[in-house]
Chains A and B, each alone.
Chain A
Amino acid sequence: KNEVEQSPQNLTAQEGEFITINCSYSVGISALHWLQQHPGGGIVSLFMLSSGKKKHGRLIATINIQEKHSSLHITASHPRDSAVYICAVGANFGNEKLTFGTGTRLTIIP
């Protein structure tokens, strides 16, 4: 079992739909990162959070430390949101690395 699990693996939705991507982890963490990866490879950091909720534009990230679960929400989805969304955690021991989920491939259809 991976330390970081994401669901769903693939998600296709119509433009305008509300999107939720989930991340569960099994280790104690110091921080959780949500990242976006477009075709071609480059990764962009969307959020880093260790508690509560953060919002940036149409993106919202929440985390429940007790349940070891985080969600990334996209409101009013747009085709340009199509990308792979990756959850990564920094463990609270041996803090030198991020452990990544395998990603959720999101496709927004116009």
Chain B
Amino acid sequence: ETGVTQSPTHLIKTRGQQVTLRCSSQSGHNTVSWYQQALGQGPQFIFQYYREEENGRGNFPPRFSGLQFPNYSSELNVNALELDDSALYLCASSVDRTMNTEAFFGQGTRLTVV
């Protein structure tokens, strides 16, 4: 039990649709990072939010966007879904925006785009 909860656990969407994935972090964790994990691959960094501001972004297009809220919850939004967006989406929270502290991961949301 990591104290990080993601919802939903599974989701099927149609190409072109929009999706919102949610993450609830541990209290006091002011940093949340989102990762995309394709089948058989390691997770790839999408972006990080620190105190409700974007604090770094990976090589993902602008149709991937996020929000972080004062209650330690966050969202990942993906517009104009493509088939290649099918993946496991993981959020990770920590007390520090550097990677020098332990990261706590959620169980992930498995998104399938058809």
Contact = CB atoms under 8 A, between A and B. Distances in A.
Nearest to B43: A100
B2 A44 contact: yes
Given A96-B33, A97-B45, A98-B45, A90 B98 contact: yes
A90 B99 contact: yes
Given A35-B105, A41-B90, A41-B108, A97 B42 contact: no
Given A95-B100, A96-B33, A97-B58, A86 B105 contact: no
B66 interface: no
Given A41-B88, A42-B108, A43-B90, A97 B103 contact: no
B100 A43 contact: no
Interface string B38-53: 0011111100101000
Interface of B: 2, 33, 35, 37, 40-45, 48, 50, 55-56, 58, 88, 90, 92, 97-108, 110
A92 to B, nearest CB: 9
A99 interface: yes
A103 B88 CA distance: 15
Contacts of A101: 42
15 contacts: A30-B98, A31-B99, A40-B107, A41-B90, A42-B106, A42-B108, A45-B104, A48-B100, A86-B42, A89-B99, A96-B50, A98-B33, A100-B42, A100-B43, A102-B41
Nearest to A105: B40
A45 B99 contact: no
A53 B48 CA distance: 29
B107 A98 contact: no
Interface of A: 4, 30-31, 33, 35, 40-45, 48, 50, 86, 88-91, 94-103
Contacts of A103: 42
Contacts of A88: 42-43
Contacts of B42: 4, 86, 88, 100-103
Given A41-B88, A43-B92, A86-B43, 8 more contacts: A40-B107, A50-B100, A88-B42, A96-B33, A97-B45, A97-B99, A98-B35, A102-B40
